[in-house]
Structures are given as structure tokens and as C-alpha cells.
Amino acid sequence: MSTTLDQFKQFTTVVADTGDFESIRAYTPQDATTNPTLIFKAVQHAEYKHLLEKAIADNRSSSLTGPALHRKVIDDLLIAFGREILKIVPGRVSTEVDARLSFDIQATIEKARYLIGLYEKLGTPRERILIKIASTWEGAQAAAVCQKEGINCNLTLLFSLPQAIACAEAGVRLISPFVGRIYDYYKEKSGKDFRGADDPGVQSVERIYAYYKKFGYQTQVMGASFRNTSQILELAGCDLLTIAPELLKELQESNTPVVRKLDPAEAAKSDVLKIHMDEKTFRWLLNEDAMATDKLAEGIRKFAADIVSLEKIVANGFNA
């Protein structure tokens, strides 16, 4: 009998959510995603330190100094990880913009152009790259400009339908609604361990999926941030899911039958109503959703903190 993972791949494109190359090889995903936290964890392991050491060595003669130099090394490191991952996966890799730019439209656009430029200088076509941007209002507007320039974007840290609508109307290639962090929030508030269809993180993705399919948006939905395989199986049929290695392992070692739960034709019959989304509406609806407001802010802070931690590692490397 086919493994649960193999069955699941019949309905949904599987993406590896890791910076660990061996884990990516083990589960043969189509794409892979990274973020500052994953890269920060990876460079602390011996097998990946050479990538950091090379990025530092390549910049020792740079005219840049201080924070500007450290940011340059981190950008080179992100591209190095991305290029190594693309040797393993047949599809795309997501590379994240500095979370500290989440409320700066122009700076986000410039960083996206810069990262794509680094990839292209090294011979990697932009079609294989997704630039990850936080799904703030500013992030969506920056992504709209990037998409028009052929820079495909993955809007991350997404916790609500208003964020998803703003991203779809910006024409982004893909969004990453965070199932597990929504689950975490409601579990902490209620003390309830949600499972299956009762999981509020799962329900959030179902609403977004239905909205997109009903109103014909081309933006893909890629569920992210899972806490258990129950959440994953409940979203069989979603366009893509990005899954951490430990959960991929569970799916690989299981023979649980997979039943498709999300179907575009059925989702298009949803009674969900169209919402006109402008900046005022976005900010109001996000403000009204305490979970989304809290989790978006928390996620940006955490990713920014991991970038700062990476900068400290880089600074120590130059002083070594």
C-alpha cells in the first residue's frame, strides 16, 4: 500500500519547510521554503558552516562596513542556501526579505529586485525563485509591483482572510497561511486541543481557499506552519502545503488512507461574499481580528530577531 505521503502528493503539491538539505532529499518535495529562523538554525550545524564561511570570505575585501556589510553577507548566504536547495528540488525555493522591511513598500521592492538579481547573476532563473514577503498592507503593495516585473512572490505570515484578499488582488503568485500558529493562539486561549475539521487554523485555510476559487483568483494557497499530521490531512487538495521534516517523516512512515478534502469545483459553490479591499478596510478588518493582529506582529518580531542573531554570527565571523 502507498505511504500516506505518496497518496497525499496525488492531491496537493508537497513543499519542504526546512533549510536541511538531507531532509529535502529524503522526501522528494516539489519545492522548498526557508525563513530566517530555519537559516539561523542551519548555520549552527557543522555541515552548513561552510556556506557561512564562504559568504564571509567572499566579502572580506568589500568596501562596505558594519551593518551594511553584515546584511550583504546574509543576502549572499540566503542565495547560497537557495541555490543548494535548487540542486535537490525540481521546482522553486522561497527566499525571504528582511522582516524589518515589512512596513516599507519601496525598500521591500528594492530588496526583492536585489535578491533576484543575485540569483540571476549566478545563473539561476527567476522562475525558480519565490520572494517571501510579510503579508502586511505594505507587503502586498510591494508584491504587486514585483509581480508586474516578473518577480514571483510568496506572501507569508498570513493569518486572516483580509490579508489573503489583499494579496490576491495584488496578483501575488502564492500565499502561506500559517495553520499552526492560528491553532496555537486558540489552544492557549481556550485550553482546547483542536483536531481535524474543528481546528481553527484548518478552517482559516478552508475559507481562503473557497474565496479564491469562487472569485477566480489565480493566487495559489500554500498552507504552512503545521503542528500535527491531522492538520495536514484535513487540507488534502489544497494547492500546496509546506511541511517540516518531522511531519514529512510521519507521513512517510504511515499508510493511513488520504481522502481529498478541498476541491476547487466544490469550493467555488461557497456562499462566501465578496469583500472590497482597500487600505482602510484591510486595516480595520485586521484590527478587528485579535488573533491575526497578534500573530502577524509576533511573527515579524521573531523573524527580525533571527536576522539580528544571524548578523551577530556574521560579525563574529569577521572578527575571528
Counting the structural domains of the chain, the total is: 1
**pLDDT for residue 314 is more than 80:** yes
Residue 205 pLDDT > 90, yes or no? yes
Q: Supply the pLDDT for residue 28.
A: 93
Which residues are CB-contacts of 237 (< 8 A; sequence separation ≥ 6)? 11, 12, 260, 261, 262, 263
Is the predicted pLDDT of residue 102 greater than 80, yes or no? Answer: yes
Query: What's the pLDDT tens digit per position in 152-201?
Result: 999 999 999 999 999 999 999 999 999 999 999 999 999 999 998 999 99
Q: Residue 192: left if φ>0, alpha if ψ -120 to 50, beta else—which one?
A: beta
> What is the structure's pLDDT at 196?
87
Q: Strand ranges (DSSP E) for the chain?
A: 13-17, 31-33, 93-96, 129-134, 153-158, 174-177, 220-223, 240-243
Q: Is 52 exposed, middle or buried (0-12, 13-18, 19+ CB in 10 A)?
A: buried
Pull the grid cell for residue 118: 543575485
What is the tens place of the pLDDT at every residue in 260-309?
999 999 999 999 999 999 999 999 999 999 999 999 999 999 999 999 99
With vertex at residue 306, the alpha carbon angle to CA 303 and CA 309, rounded to the nearest 5 degrees, is 160
Alpha carbon separation from 62 to 38, 56, 73, 77, 189 (Å, rounded): 27, 10, 10, 15, 50
Cα–Cα distance for residue pair 232/201, rounded to 1 Å:
11
Parent domain of 298: 4-319
% of residues, the chain, pLDDT over 70: 99
> Which residue has 551593518 as its cell numbers?
67
148, 158 in Cβ contact below 8 A? no
How far is Cα 161 from Cα 143, in angstroms, rounded to an integer?
Answer: 17
Q: Which residues are catalytic?
A: 132
Q: What is the mean pLDDT of the chain?
A: 96
Q: What is the pLDDT confidence band of residue 35, given thresholds at 50, 70 and 90?
A: confident
Half-sphere exposure of 228 (CA within 13 A, CB side): 13
> Crossing angle of helices 200-214/161-169, nearest 10°?
30
- Specify whether the CB–CB gap between 202 and 177 falls below 8 A: no
At residue 36, the pLDDT reads: 84
Q: What is the CA radius of gyration of the chain?
A: 19
pLDDT of res. 319: 84
Burial (CB < 10 A; 0-12, 13-18, 19+), residue 269, is exposed
What pLDDT digit, counting tens, does each position of 39-61 carry? 988 988 889 999 999 999 999 99
Strand segments (E) across 201-318: 220-223, 240-243
pLDDT at 218 over 90: yes
The confidence score (pLDDT) of residue 37 equals 87
- What is the predicted pLDDT for the residue at 23? 92
Domain holding 41: CATH number? 3.20.20.70
> Mean pLDDT over residues 19-32, rounded?
94
